[in-house]
Amino acid sequence: MARGGFLVEMLASKNAATDVGYLWRFLYYMYVALPLLVLYFVLYSVALAYLLNYLRSLVGISPTTGVTTMTWQEWAQTVGFGMLFSVALFHFRILPILFVPVHILTSV
């Protein structure tokens, strides 16, 4: 199950009608879609962390420098800001727009 094997098999069998269709989709998800989804997740996480640190500095809370040096109050503030920002993205209908690439990659 290395490199998302179960996920790849599930996605490949979702729309496959023949063995060749399954094999083509399996190869597509294994070598194209899954690496692109991982890259998109990393970019999304980095952008979210950058925006959250910027928002924390605007509010007057020092931005986080490392996970190992955080106290539980800083950790709770970070989680709270992340949840609040995600709810704001959902409320203003921006979150579904951010997941369009995920839908495009997984709809093959």
What's the confidence (pLDDT) of residue 65? 64
What's the confidence (pLDDT) of residue 105? 93
What's the confidence (pLDDT) of residue 11? 87
pLDDT tens digits, 1-49: 555 678 888 888 888 889 999 999 999 999 999 999 999 999 999 998 8
pLDDT tens digits, 50-96: 888 888 888 887 776 666 677 888 788 888 888 998 999 999 999 99
Query: Could you give phi then psi for residue 11, rounded to 5 degrees?
Result: -65, -40
Asked whether the whole model's pTM tops 0.85, one would answer no
39-44 contacts at long range (C-beta below 8 A, 24 or more positions apart): 40/101, 40/102, 44/98
DSSP secondary structure, the chain, as one string: -TTTHHHHHHHHHHS--SHHHHHHHHHHIIIIIHHHHHHHHHHHHHHHHHHHHHHHHHHTPPPP--STT--HHHHHHHHHHHHHHHHHHHHTT-HHHHTHHHHHHH--
What's the confidence (pLDDT) of residue 62? 73
Q: Are 49 and 82 in contact (CB under 8 A)?
A: no
What's the confidence (pLDDT) of residue 83? 92
